Amino acid sequence: MQKLLHILALLTLGLSTSSYGCNYPIKEVTSGIYYHQGLHQDASESNIGAIANVGFIVGERCVAVIDTGGSYLEGTYLRQAIKKQTDLPVCYVINTHVHPDHTFGNAAFKDDNPEFIGHEKLPAALAARQSFFAKTFKETLGKSYEGTEFIAPTLTVSTEHPLTVDLGNRPITFTAYKTSHTDHDLTVFDNKTKTLWTGDLLFIERIPVMDGSINGWLTTMEQLQTLDVDYLIPGHGVAGSDKWQQGLANQLRYFNVLRDGIRDIIADLGTIDEASKQVGLKEKQYWKLFEQYHRRNVTASFVQLEWE
């Protein structure tokens, strides 16, 4: 009986995974800009790691993919979605940063022979994390991980010099940032429609996750507020023209609350444990997955701020 139940469970998982591609919605944000909105969940085999926003820009000559998904399987679904929209080739695959939910679908585009683009520090970040990511997510993602490869950028962007490429009457500009969400964040700006892809420099609804510098990220967010943008696609959360400003304000508030609270505890010679139990708890009402990531954000930020 136990064996039968195990088989039925596997069959159910297989059905849910195999049918995901039929239920992989792509939304058009504005002319020629498409994205799939990730789930507000942690990666698992049942959601195939599809927890981040991924998408593409269609020019007159070719297509640029911005982030490829949280598994090889999701990457294949994204590629299928592109083929439903256009027969143009994929000439660029851009990774906004190293995290698995944004890069694990890269191998699905290998046969297109694209230029892979990322921040100048992305190759080092990928090399440092590859072993851990492979071990952890092979187990987490199960069958949807099969085919996943770690593909470093073939073209990198420096923090001093933004890079612009043309998809055919469609110039897009890549900007590399100093340490913020990570030490290798990259944004993509479609000049034609004034659409900005932020990667995980912006989370909407889902709690942001610190893997870089709280001070640096706050500075970068303040820079983003000054940009002339009509549409925005965050790393997580809904894209469009009307919600990103409030989303950015919410994220700024969250990290300012953390920084101010941590600094107060440090000034009183308090400990990292005290900070993790006290700072920012009222923010819980505003963020999904708060319990999973808030304490981690506080401890990571404390380590940085105690050496100011």
Q: What is the pLDDT of residues 28-65, one digit of tens each?
A: 999 999 999 999 999 999 999 999 999 999 999 999 99
Position with higher pLDDT, 17 vs 189: 189
Asked if the model's pLDDT at residue 11 lies above 50, the reply is no
For residues 172 and 117, the answer to whether their CB atoms sit within 8 Å is no
Residue 137 and residue 301: Cα distance in Å, rounded? Answer: 26
Q: What are the residues whose beta carbons fall under 8 Å from the beta carbon of 303, sequence distance 6 or more?
A: 272
Q: Average pLDDT of 191-202?
A: 98
Q: What's the pLDDT tens digit per position in 89-123?
A: 999 999 999 999 999 999 999 999 999 999 999 99
For residues 198 and 52, the answer to whether their CB atoms sit within 8 Å is no
Percentage of the chain with pLDDT > 70? Answer: 93
Q: What's the pLDDT tens digit per position in 271-297?
A: 999 999 999 999 999 999 999 999 999
* Model pLDDT, residue 22: 60
